[in-house]
């Protein structure tokens, strides 16, 4: 079947050419005009049926979401809105779609309804645009890192270590839960399990990426990541995709440059390659914003905001300064923050969004967090380091905060000094014996190094202007939900 994509028909096929297209019917009007979409673009091709050639019984089958193949001549469009249309010579229904049973009609459905029909939601303009953009972002990630000499490194999905020390992991086991082998003291004997040890789905590929970076120099991972946190928010998934670059001889400042460069590369790529989809989502977001009270409306449209972020340097501040700004803020003084603000406690999403949306009005990179709120592998700051303060121990962490979302990237310079790292692990109760392989990198040719993790879905949320993370991953996995 020699098919031409509707995108190329609309963009470049010369008139008077005969081509074959195939796709799904969006609408059929006046018993003559099929709006056909094949997913290659948000735009439909108008396929004009000659009623003399196509009998009424066949025409009755051009229902929403029926699949059809049309062969015909590309002619200048009579109507407005598109360059060309097709005068159909031959048409065949490939798969019928019963209009009384097909759930998605050509009208506006709620996102909740479409989530319940996640298997069919790709056939809507909104979701097809989102998933084409998700592709462009994914492709851009490889383009950016490969272009800078980073090697795509496949870290394992099953692991026996807990990289973030958060303990929110899914178990991987082949033992019979009703009848597991037991030790003498009645505890489960994991030695009998498939991997001979308690094993889980990874929360991060970072530790393995560090091993690789200390040999290949520059690596990045890009894969699924799992967290069994029971957070039912619009920004959390139990299964999400993370990109984790890790580079030897990179310090905190280089790490910030790398992160800012990545975000800007991806935004530029989407602006260039997804212009039609962005235009659609820009209008969609404008409609959504109208429903919100004036105060909560975003000051910029989607495309305007993307260009703004692209053109302005990200603000780089220390955690200590961030706390000062928050303590002086109106919402703090009016007691509008739900969570406490004081030196030593972690920033919550409401604080991050205040800094980004109200105070700086652009992306912000915060560094120098208190050691006690961050992971064991982050480098301990000393006098002279950016983020050092006499208020308490801080680490060379960096969180990149984005408007509308909050944290989009978390990373750090790593602790490369064996004695400091071991002391930190002891203090935080991280088992050194199980992590012998990680500590070996600090024993044999340790070097300063740094990296970060970008949450793919959080980034796609930002570039599409969507409000819920469940709408930017094909099949969301969240507490109590793993359908499809
Ligand atoms: O800040 P996190 O936990 O950092 C790490 O995992 C480090 N090991 C990364 C590194 O330095 N190599 O997660 C990184 C990012 C977050 O900023 C967020 O964008 C995303 O991953 N993320 C989630 N996205 C969706 N659902 C969740 N439950 C997420 N948890 C983290
Ligand atoms: Mg984080």
Q: How many domains does the chain have?
A: 2
Give CA–CA dist 459/465, Å, rounded.
10
CA of residue 224 to ligand 1 center, whole Å: 11
Question: Which value, to the nearest 10 degrees, does the dihedral of the CA atoms of residues 203, 206, 208, 212 take?
Answer: 160
In a domain, 69, yes or no: yes
- Residue 319: predicted pLDDT: 98
On whether the CB atoms of residues 70 and 91 are closer than 8 A, the answer is: yes
In a domain, 308, yes or no: yes
In a domain, 466, yes or no: yes
- Same-domain check for residues 58 and 129: no
Q: Is the pLDDT of residue 446 over 80?
A: yes
Read off the CATH number of the domain in which 350 is found.
3.30.930.10
List the residue whose alpha carbon is closest to atom 6 of ligand 1: 204
Three-state secondary structure call for residue 64: coil
In a domain, 212, yes or no: no
Whether residue 23 has its Cβ less than 6 Å from ligand 1: no
**Which of 244, 231, 240 is CA-nearest to residue 201?**
240
User: Average per-residue pLDDT in the chain?
Assistant: 95
Give CA–CA dist 484/10, Å, rounded.
33
80 band by pLDDT with thresholds 50, 70 and 90? confident
- Same-domain check for residues 82 and 130: no
Give the residue, out of 224, 346, 401, 410, with the most ligand 1 atoms within 8 A of its beta carbon, to mutate for a pocket test. Answer: 410
**Which of 378, 315, 325, 380 is CA-nearest to residue 347?**
325
In a domain, 179, yes or no: no
Tell me the pLDDT tens digit for each residue of 234-263.
Answer: 999 999 999 999 999 999 999 999 999 999
**Which of 242, 402, 235, 234 is CA-nearest to residue 306?**
402
Tell me the pLDDT tens digit for each residue of 181-193.
Answer: 999 999 999 999 9
- Same-domain check for residues 30 and 62: yes
Give the residue, out of 453, 457, 469, with the most ligand 1 atoms within 8 A of its beta carbon, to mutate for a pocket test. Answer: 453
Provide mean pLDDT across the span 198-215: 96
On whether the CB atoms of residues 219 and 451 are closer than 8 A, the answer is: no
Q: Would residue 5 be called left, alpha or beta, if left means φ above 0 and alpha means ψ between -120 and 50 degrees?
A: beta
Task: List the single range of 35-49, 142-156, 167-181, 254-268 with lowest mean pLDDT.
Answer: 167-181
Partners of 245 in the β-ladder:
220
- Same-domain check for residues 97 and 17: yes
pTM for the full predicted model: 0.96
Q: pLDDT above 70 covers what percent of the chain?
A: 99
CA of residue 348 to ligand 1 center, whole Å: 14
Number of Cβ atoms within 10 Å of the Cβ of 68: 23
- Same-domain check for residues 85 and 129: no
Q: Is the pLDDT of residue 223 over 70?
A: yes
Q: For residue 23, give Cα distances in angstroms to 1, 38, 43, 90.
A: 13, 4, 12, 14
Residue finishing a domain among 58, 87, 102: 102
Handedness of CA 138, 140, 146, 150 (dihedral sign): negative
414 band by pLDDT with thresholds 50, 70 and 90? very high
- Same-domain check for residues 130 and 90: no
In a domain, 414, yes or no: yes
| DSSP character string of 121-173 | GGGSHHHHHHHHHHHHHHHHHHHHHHHTTPEE----SEESS-TTS-----EE-
Provide mean pLDDT across the span 426-432: 92
Number of Cβ atoms within 10 Å of the Cβ of 358: 13
Whether residue 140 has its Cβ less than 6 Å from ligand 1: no
List the residue whose alpha carbon is closest to atom 4 of ligand 1: 410
Contacts of 142 (CB under 8 A, 6+ apart): 152, 222
- Same-domain check for residues 19 and 131: no
Whether residue 409 has its Cβ less than 6 Å from ligand 1: yes
Q: Is the pLDDT of residue 166 over 80?
A: no
Provide mean pLDDT across the span 6-26: 97
- Same-domain check for residues 308 and 342: yes
Provide mean pLDDT across the span 457-483: 96
- Residue 7: predicted pLDDT: 97
In a domain, 151, yes or no: no
Q: Is the pLDDT of residue 167 over 70?
A: no
Whether residue 458 has its Cβ less than 6 Å from ligand 1: yes
Three-state secondary structure call for residue 410: strand
Kindly report the backbone phi and psi dihedral angles of residue 385, in degrees, each rounded to the nearest multiple of 5, phi listed first. Answer: -75, 145
Domain with 343, as residue range(s), is: 125-135+269-471
Give CA–CA dist 9/3, Å, rounded.
10
Tell me the pLDDT tens digit for each residue of 331-388.
Answer: 999 999 999 999 999 999 999 999 999 999 999 999 999 999 999 999 999 999 999 9
Helix (H) or strand (E) holding 257: helix 252-273
Q: Is the pLDDT of residue 163 over 70?
A: no
In a domain, 42, yes or no: yes
CA of residue 34 to ligand 2 center, whole Å: 48
Chain centre distance of CA 455: 5
- Same-domain check for residues 373 and 443: yes
Give CA–CA dist 320/93, Å, rounded.
65
Tell me the pLDDT tens digit for each residue of 113-136.
Answer: 999 999 999 999 999 999 999 999
Give CA–CA dist 440/293, Å, rounded.
56
Q: Is the pLDDT of residue 96 over 70?
A: yes
**Exposure of 171 in the CB half-sphere (CA atoms within 13 A):** 10
Provide mean pLDDT across the span 426-445: 94
- Same-domain check for residues 404 and 436: yes
Whether residue 205 has its Cβ less than 6 Å from ligand 1: no
Tell me the pLDDT tens digit for each residue of 266-297.
Answer: 999 999 999 999 999 999 999 999 988 887 78
- Same-domain check for residues 129 and 75: no
**Which ligand is located closest to the Cα atom of residue 220?**
1
Provide mean pLDDT across the span 100-106: 90
- Same-domain check for residues 68 and 130: no
108 band by pLDDT with thresholds 50, 70 and 90? confident
Structure-token match 């064996």, residue found: 418
Read off the CATH number of the domain in which 97 is found.
2.40.50.140
């Amino acid at each position: 079947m020699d098919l031409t994509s509707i995108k190329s028909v609309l963009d470049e096929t010369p008139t008077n050419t005969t081509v074959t297209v195939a796709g799904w019917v969006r609408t059929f009007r006046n018993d003559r005009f099929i709006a056909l979409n094949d997913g290659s673009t948000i735009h439909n091709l108008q396929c004009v049926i000659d009623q003399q050639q196509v009998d009424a019984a066949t025409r009755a089958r051009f229902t929403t979401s029926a699949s059809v193949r049309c062969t015909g001549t590309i002619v200048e469009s009579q109507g407005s809105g598109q360059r060309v249309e097709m005068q159909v010579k031959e048409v065949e229904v490939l798969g019928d779609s019963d209009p009384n049973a097909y759930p998605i009609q050509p009208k506006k459905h709620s996102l909740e309804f479409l989530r319940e029909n996640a298997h069919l939601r790709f056939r809507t303009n909104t979701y097809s645009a989102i998933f084409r953009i998700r592709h462009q972002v994914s492709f851009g990630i490889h383009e950016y890192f490969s272009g800078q000499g980073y090697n795509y490194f496949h870290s394992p999905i099953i692991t026996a270590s807990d990289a973030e020390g958060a303990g929110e992991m899914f178990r991987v086991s082949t033992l019979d839960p009703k009848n597991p082998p037991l030790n003498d003291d009645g505890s489960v004997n994991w030695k009998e399990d498939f991997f001979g040890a308690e094993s889980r789905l990874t929360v991060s590929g970072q530790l393995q990426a560090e091993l690789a970076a200390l040999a290949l120099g520059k690596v990045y991972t890009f894969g699924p990541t799992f967290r069994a946190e029971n957070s039912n928010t619009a920004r959390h998934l139990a299964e999400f995709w993370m990109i984790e670059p890790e580079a030897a001889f990179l310090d905190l400042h280089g790490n910030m440059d790398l992160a800012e460069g990545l975000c800007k590369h991806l935004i530029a790529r989407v602006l260039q390659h997804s212009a039609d989809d962005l235009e659609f989502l820009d209008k969609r977001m404008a409609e959504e914003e109208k429903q919100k009270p004036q105060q909560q409306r975003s000051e910029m449209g989607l495309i305007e905001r993307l260009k703004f972020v692209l053109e302005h340097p990200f603000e780089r501040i220390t955690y200590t300064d961030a706390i000062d700004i928050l303590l002086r803020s109106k919402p703090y003084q009016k007691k509008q923050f739900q969570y406490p603000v004081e030196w030593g406690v972690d920033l919550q999403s409401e604080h991050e969004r205040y800094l980004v949306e109200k105070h700086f009005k652009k992306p912000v990179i915060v560094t120098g967090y208190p050691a006690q709120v961050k992971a064991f592998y982050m480098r301990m700051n000393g006098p002279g380091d950016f983020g050092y303060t006499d208020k308490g121990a801080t680490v060379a962490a960096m969180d990149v905060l984005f408007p509308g979302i909050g944290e989009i990237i978390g990373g750090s310079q790593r602790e490369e000094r064996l004695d400091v790292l071991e002391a930190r692990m002891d203090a935080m109760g991280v088992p050194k014996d199980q992590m012998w392989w990680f500590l070996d990198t600090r024993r044999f040719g340790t070097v300063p190094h740094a990296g970060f993790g970008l949450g793919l879905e959080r980034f796609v949320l930002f570039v599409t202007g969507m409000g819920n993370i469940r709408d930017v991953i094909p099949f969301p996995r969240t507490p109590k939900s793993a359908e499809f």
